[in-house]
Structures are given as structure tokens and as C-alpha cells.
A and B are shown apart, each in its own frame.
Chain A
């Protein structure tokens, strides 16, 4: 559903509320966490490393695969995994670049960028493996969502369409969900939007209206396709925000919009994964 964007007193438009005191974190938080690096079985049975964060205790906990972005398996994504764990989820953020070996995440990310990234098929195999890892744990409630920023958002969209067993998906400003023919490559041979008919889980979309990739027209088009195909989705679009507005250590950070949108994420996952 599309929500109207009311304007708040400061002139910043956020969806759907921006009065102080109306934005809150999830009611349920878990201060005791267990966070560790684990091994998981990915595409083609390859064994890779992953960050695994979950609340202390027997559960049952819903699972989330947090799909890292193009720049790599870095702190921003690891932190998002820990954040979701704090709110009661068993979260795995698997290293999509493990086949490149050890190294600083930004160095490996730069190398992968120069190589044209990883293939969509490999990514899907790795995410399927991460989902299986979560469901195999004794603390699992059997449900698993996927979430990602930027290219991780694009990957989330693909996973929602192409992987069985995804119970909910959160696409944060995933670009190139639509892609012109000239943008398609051997590694990314088909635009995610073309798989939309196969989407079999609810989708939450978080977007900044100042973003150029995806821009407002692209988000409109994505929404149009979701609506035409009768998919269950919620899109929230924020004025005064562009790309990567969750990144607290970057100039793109927008505190009010980010806090509100995280609230949307907690609410969405609670409704579909608990």
C-alpha cells in the first residue's frame, strides 16, 4: 500500500509520522546476545563464513538473513545484524565474498566491484544456505526473513522472488531492480523486476525520495508492477533523505527518517515472522 506523506512542523516530510514521541523502537529487546563467526554451506556446497547474532536463550526466535551490500561484509551490515538480534531475531549475515579469501572488507569489496560483482545465482545459493543454517538451529521458530541495503536490497528482491521459504523481505533502497538491457551482464543476466510474478512473501520497501538509484520514478514503477500482480507489499518513501540514510557514519544519514524507518522494519518483521 502507498502511504500519503504528511509534512511535519520542521518542514521535513517523513512517512507516516514525524511528531516527536511517536517514533519508537520495538517494545521487545534482548540485551544478552550471542555473536560469533560461524561456517555455513553456500552455493555449490562451498563452505563460507558468516556473522551470527541471536538473543541468549532457547527461543524460539524468528530468523533473518541480512544480505550485505556491494562494499562488502563490513561493519554497517554486521551492526544491522546485531541490531535485529537485539530486537529478538536470530540473524545471519553471511559473507558473500568468502571465496576471495581473508582481507579488509573494503579491499575485498573494491576487488569484487572491479570484477563486476558476484553472480546472482551464486548469491541466491549462498542466501539459501544461510536460510537453511537458521532453520537448522534449535532456537528457530521456523520462519526466516531477508533484508538488505543498496545492492543487498536488490539481492533481497531477487531472493523474495526466487527462493522458496522466504517469509518476509525488506528491501532498503535496492537499485537496479529494474535494469535496462545494456546494464545486464553474464553475472546479473535478468532484472529482478522480471521475476516479480514469482514473489511469494510480503515485501517492505524503504526509500529516500532524493535517491538517484533507485529514483522516485523507478520506485513508482516497481510499485506499479507489485500492485498489478497482486503482491503484498508496503512502501515507505522519505523526503529529505537519499541513498543509504541508515548509515550513521556517513553524510547520507538522516536521523529522523532512519529512526522512523527502523520502526517500520521492526513492525513488519514482527507481523510476518513471529
Chain B
């Protein structure tokens, strides 16, 4: 059954949705029945602007999500090495679970 079990993270960023670019401040992550991707279960992420309640949604297979985790980490590691050290100190939001 669909559940209300979600992970949430406070984020700082932008996403391009139906009305163009918008700020997003929350990510809601859950593994459950997707709306669109032809799978029984998927890793779903909603990037949400909590003020307007608009979202940009993605639905990924579990393997795709795991690969994405690795590639995001690789991209950050490479980017930080090229761009002279960690950028975390510049980040307006220290990412953490809500």
C-alpha cells in the first residue's frame, strides 16, 4: 500500500518547473508506487518550494537512484578538487534531515 513514510531534507537550490525556474527549499524522498515511470515501486524525489507549494518531481528505478548517489558524490568530489576545496562553507544551508 502507499505509505506516508518519507525522508525530508532542507535544501538550498533552484529547479525548473511548469512555470520556469523557482527556488526549492525542501526535498521529499520516498520509495513507493510511482505515478508515471512504468515500475511497481520507484525512488521518488520531490523538490519543493514550500512557499508556493510547487514541486519538481522525479521517479527513478532503485538501481538508477543508487547509481545517481554514486555519480553525485563523484561529481562533488571532482568539482571540489577542481574548484579549490570544499564549497560547503559557502552553502547558505547546511543540508540536514528535517
Chain A partners chain B: yes
- Selected from A114, A153, A250, the residue in CB contact (under 8 A) with B8 is A114
State the CA gap A151–B40 with chains docked (Å).
16
* With A107-B55, A243-B40 as contacts: A173 and B1 at CB distance below 8 Å: yes
Q: Does B2 contact A (CB under 8 A)?
A: yes
Q: Are B46 and A71 in contact (CB under 8 A)?
A: no
Q: Does B3 contact A (CB under 8 A)?
A: yes
State the CA gap A71–B30 with chains docked (Å).
13
* With A114-B8, A114-B28 as contacts: A150 and B1 at CB distance below 8 Å: yes
Q: Are A113 and B6 in contact (CB under 8 A)?
A: yes
What does the 1/0 interface line of B5-18 toward A look like (CB < 8 Å)?
A: 01010000000000
Q: Are A244 and B33 in contact (CB under 8 A)?
A: yes
Q: Nearest Cβ distance between residue A60 and chain B, in whole angstroms?
A: 35
Please provide the chain B residues from 18 to 65 with a CB less than 8 Å away from any CB of chain A in the complex. Answer: 28, 30, 33, 35, 38-40, 46, 48, 53-55, 57
Q: Are B1 and A175 in contact (CB under 8 A)?
A: yes
- Selected from B2, B53, B54, the residue in CB contact (under 8 A) with A151 is B2
State the CA gap A244–B38 with chains docked (Å).
13
Q: Does A116 contact B (CB under 8 A)?
A: yes
Q: Are B1 and A114 in contact (CB under 8 A)?
A: no
- Selected from A69, A107, A111, A250, the residue in CB contact (under 8 A) with B2 is A69
Q: Does A259 contact B (CB under 8 A)?
A: no
State the CA gap A154–B4 with chains docked (Å).
13
Please provide the chain B residues from 54 to 96 with a CB less than 8 Å away from any CB of chain A in the complex. Answer: 54-55, 57
* With A113-B30, A114-B28, A243-B40 as contacts: A213 and B35 at CB distance below 8 Å: no
State the CA gap A213–B33 with chains docked (Å).
12
Residues of B within 8 A of A (CB): 1-4, 6, 8, 28, 30, 33, 35, 38-40, 46, 48, 53-55, 57
**A-B pairs with beta carbons under 8 Å apart, 28 shown:** A70-B3, A71-B2, A71-B33, A71-B35, A107-B57, A110-B46, A110-B55, A111-B53, A111-B55, A113-B4, A113-B6, A113-B30, A114-B8, A114-B46, A116-B4, A117-B4, A150-B1, A153-B1, A175-B2, A185-B4, A243-B1, A243-B33, A243-B40, A244-B33, A250-B33, A250-B38, A250-B40, A251-B39
